[in-house]
């Protein structure tokens, strides 16, 4: 049965608020997602929160009621609390009326089925949560399998990343790996590693991409290190017709992913 918590000092509220911090998310193996749309996307993907927090004061939206019923049927915890407390949990003044606490969704590299999708993203030292969340959303749009994070990337389960993914976190595999481990895994099976770089004259539409294609996107400020570029099967660049010399990391990922997708569509 749902229960109600009214105090900011409640131990569970304090614990859940702590999930806004990376070290506590890692220790607990849990993360926060907010908003009816994102939580419904997760439910549609077969993923339910372990705890569901909803605002008191108004009857639940019909989609929220579906979530309540599903979480209770799965043995999860449904908690009603004030909008102010929900704001403290999410860190937003205008908090969404629904917040879920989920088990983290990391996939071990060894368990990844590369044949499950024709396109995969590999993000190298990506630091902006908006870029990573957007990359997940792009991955969902093009039917990619997920994002492999190498080096020191932003936390894929931060509130900001989850928010930017618009629910795509629940449709995309998320993998964290060291670069040498990723390369060894990649070379143990099929897969074309394609890097985007300014250090090439090879146009991004010139190659014939083959599935599975792994699109390597470099750090927003520095791009790819030289040895990472050297490890790629292909290095390509997008034409820059104005004064800018590069695109935002997630925008570059979108351009590349749709080129690969369109080639595969044309090829049947």
Residue 74 and residue 113 in one domain? no
pLDDT of residue 251: 93
pLDDT of residue 1: 78
Domain at 180, CATH number: 3.40.1280.10
CATH at 8:
3.30.1330.30
Q: Which residues pair with 50 in a beta bridge?
A: none
Domain end (from 65, 81, 103): 103
126 lies in the same domain as 240: yes
Q: So what's the pLDDT on residue 113?
A: 97
pLDDT in tens, the chain (268 residues): 789 998 889 999 999 999 999 999 999 999 999 999 999 999 999 999 999 999 888 888 899 999 999 999 999 999 999 988 998 888 776 656 899 999 999 999 999 999 999 999 999 999 999 999 999 999 999 999 999 999 999 999 999 999 999 999 999 999 999 999 999 999 999 999 999 988 899 999 999 999 999 999 998 888 899 999 999 999 999 887 888 777 789 999 999 999 999 999 998 5
Domain count, the chain: 2
In the chain, which residue ranges form alpha helices assigned H by DSSP?
11-17, 22-28, 36-44, 62-73, 83-90, 129-142, 159-165, 179-187, 226-231, 249-266
- State residue 94's pLDDT score: 62
H/E/C letters for each residue in 87-141? HHHHCCCCCCCEEEEEECCECCHHHCCHHHCCEEEEEECCCCHHHHHHHHHHHHH
> What are 53's strand-pairing partners?
79, 99
Exposed, middle or buried, 222 (CB in 10 Å: 0-12/13-18/19+)? exposed
Chain Cα centroid distance, residue 15: 23
- pTM to 2 decimals? 0.92
Question: Is 259 in contact with 234 (CB distance < 8 Å)?
Answer: no
**What is d(CA 126, CA 174) in angstroms, rounded to the nearest whole number?**
14
The residue segments making up the domain with residue 69 are: 3-103
Residue 45, pLDDT score: 93
Residues 82 and 182 in one domain: no
């Amino acid at each position: 049965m749902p229960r109600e918590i009214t105090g900011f000092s409640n131990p569970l509220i304090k614990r859940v608020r702590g999930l806004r911090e990376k070290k506590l998310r890692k220790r607990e193996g849990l993360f926060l997602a907010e908003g009816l749309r994102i939580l419904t996307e997760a439910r549609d993907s077969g993923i339910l929160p372990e705890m569901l927090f909803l605002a008191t004061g108004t009857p639940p939206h019909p989609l929220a009621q579906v979530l309540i019923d599903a979480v209770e049927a799965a043995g999860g915890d449904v908690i009603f609390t004030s909008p102010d407390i929900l704001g403290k949990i999410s860190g937003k003044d205008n908090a969404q009326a629904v917040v879920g606490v989920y088990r983290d969704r990391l996939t071990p590299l060894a368990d990844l089925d590369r044949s499950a999708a024709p396109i995969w993203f590999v993000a190298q030292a990506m630091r902006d949560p908006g870029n990573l969340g957007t990359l997940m959303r792009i991955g969902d749009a093009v039917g990619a399998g997920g994002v492999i994070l190498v080096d020191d990337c932003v936390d894929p389960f931060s509130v900001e990343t989850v928010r930017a993914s618009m629910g795509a976190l629940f449709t995309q595999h998320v993998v964290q790996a060291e670069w040498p481990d990723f390369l060894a895994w990649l070379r143990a099976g099929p897969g074309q590693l394609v890097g985007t770089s300014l250090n090439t004259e090879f146009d991004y539409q010139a190659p014939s991409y083959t599935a599975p294609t792994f699109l390597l996107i470099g750090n927003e400020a520095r791009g790819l290190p030289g040895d990472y570029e050297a490890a790629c099967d292909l290095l390509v660049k997008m034409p820059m017709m104005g004064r800018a010399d590069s695109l935002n990391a997630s925008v570059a990922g979108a351009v590349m992913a749709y080129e690969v997708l369109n080639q595969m569509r044309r090829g049947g």
